Amino acid sequence: MRELEKMLKGELYNANYDEEILKLRQKAQDLCYEYNQTMPSNRKKQEEIIKKLKIKTKENFTIESPFFCDYGFNIEIGENFYANHNLIILDCAKVEIGDNVFIGPNVTIATAGHPLDYKKRNKGLEYAYKIKIGNNVWIGANVVINPGVKIGDNTVIGSGSVVTKDIEENSLAFGNPCKVKKEINVE
């Protein structure tokens, strides 16, 4: 089985020494560089680069530069998506983001993780688990979302949080580790 297939199945795979994976990541890095060098007023060119990255989008979205991703093709964003400066998405596994999601500056969404066993880590092995962010979610500045996490609809994640476990819908959650502090009642 190819390393890329292992990556997409959530199995341990070689992220550092596999030519196919390295070429895909290099292509995405080059496109992110181009995106980040594009004048912010040239939204048309930015949208073309997002399409070249094969990020699945709906009609209305904004991703402020700088923006970085590992591959692009594993990212889906919904309608009325807004990401502030310095969004990093390590999309070794699928990242699904719903409609009406707002992301503050300096947010990292990381599907990739590494084995605790240093011998496996030193061989370049890693794993990747899907991240899903529901509809109507607001993620504050400087948040880190770890592999395998699901954030429910209508949720707010407070600034500086490290999300290590699922967060249920209609929640205000924050902290390190991020925990639900109260339920949000929508009128």
85 is known as an active-site residue: no
Q: Where are the alpha helices (DSSP H) in 38-174?
A: 43-52, 118-122
Single-letter code of the amino acid located at 46: Q
Q: Which of 112, 120, 185, 121 is nearest to 144 (CA)?
A: 112
Distance, in Å, from the CA atom of 112 to the CA atom of 91, rounded to the nearest integer, reads: 7
Distance, in Å, from the CA atom of 124 to the CA atom of 170, rounded to the nearest integer, reads: 39
Q: Is 2 helix (H, G, I), strand (E, B) or coil?
A: coil
How would you class 127 by CB atoms within 10 Å of its CB: exposed for 0-12, middle for 13-18, buried for 19 or more? buried
Single-letter code of the amino acid located at 130: K
Residue from 85, 114, 130, 132 carrying the catalytic annotation: 114
* Two tokens, residue 74: 């594993």
Catalytic residues, which ones?
Answer: 114
